[in-house]
Amino acid sequence: MPWLTSFAGYCAPIFLIMSPVFSYSDQALSMHRNRSSAGFSLDIPLIMLVASFFRIFYYPGARFDSALLVQSFLMVLMQLLLLKIALDHRPGPASKGGEAAVPFASASQEGFFERRRPYQFWQWRSPKPYWQFLLYLFIILTTLELILAPFSGVYAMYSVLLGYVGLSVEATLPLPQIFANARLRSCKGFRVSVLASWLAGDAMKMFWFFTSTTEIPWAFKLCGIFQACCDCFLGIQYLMYGNGDQKLKDEGMPSSMEFLEKKTVLPLPVSNGSATISGRRTPFEKSLQ
């Protein structure tokens, strides 16, 4: 159907360029409105910023469709904003609300993405190291670009390496969320709007990548296929787990609503032997607020 190919060739680039805004604006607004980034992975900005930087520096050697380059610049801006909001509203180390005290990248020591990393990489409590790392990465990529560009043979291999590494990093985007959902047996804190935009973007990308008349390197196609499979698995997890308190129930603990329904205030003894209501909240009550 030539008309469908032409339609996709016109609409897909526009959709891809705007996809960073479609995908993450709702998540950013939700964290800002709730003043909490619990349930949101700080690994998402890390993955997307690294992948976007690599893709931008991949362009001079690959000269792929310019829509993908524009999308990369817009993705950098969106992820920097998302990281700023997530760090500003990150729960304190003593907080135990929701999935994690630290958005789930450092919520516990149970999963691969939750283990303590060397030098606590991307698990720092201070915001400054996050921005320093991104600045150093940009400086290193810029320096390598200037040094290797005059050597065409070496630069060609370097450019291909940049493309595959960057797109492979981007393809791992759903993995931290998949592992966190499996550990918690809940998708609470992960916006369904983000999932919907990922799935819609995957469908649009797959059709455009394999029907476009412009240059789309195979690195984009292979990594896009892997990411689409991961996003589909995320959708299955959302259908299985939803936003419930499955982990609490499986561990024999009441869910938030069950606890509130059955909650009673126990009298505490005082010095005269009588019992009064103290009004002090238990640690479990406090964690629910």
pLDDT of residue 130: 97
Rounded mean pLDDT of the chain?
Answer: 78
pLDDT of residue 253: 42
Arithmetic mean of pLDDT, 22-47: 87
Better-scored residue on pLDDT, 104 or 237: 237
Cβ-count burial 127-139 (b if 16+ within 10 Å, e if not): eeebeebbeeeee
Q: Which two tokens stand for residue 47?
A: 């993955």
Euclidean distance between CA atoms 71 and 16, whole angstroms? 6
Of all residues in the chain, the percent with pLDDT exceeding 90 is 33
Does residue 4 carry a pLDDT above 80? Answer: no
Torsion of CA 22, 27, 171, 155, to 10 degrees: 70
Euclidean distance between CA atoms 33 and 40, whole angstroms? 14
Of all residues in the chain, the percent with pLDDT exceeding 70 is 73
Strand 268-269 relative to strand 275-276, pairing: antiparallel
Contact residues for 31 (Cβ-Cβ < 8 A; gap 6+):
37, 40, 85, 86, 89
**pLDDT tens digits along 272-281:** 444 443 444 4
**pLDDT tens digits along 44-69:** 899 999 999 999 999 999 888 898 89
Does residue 249 carry a pLDDT above 60? Answer: no
Arithmetic mean of pLDDT, 2-29: 80
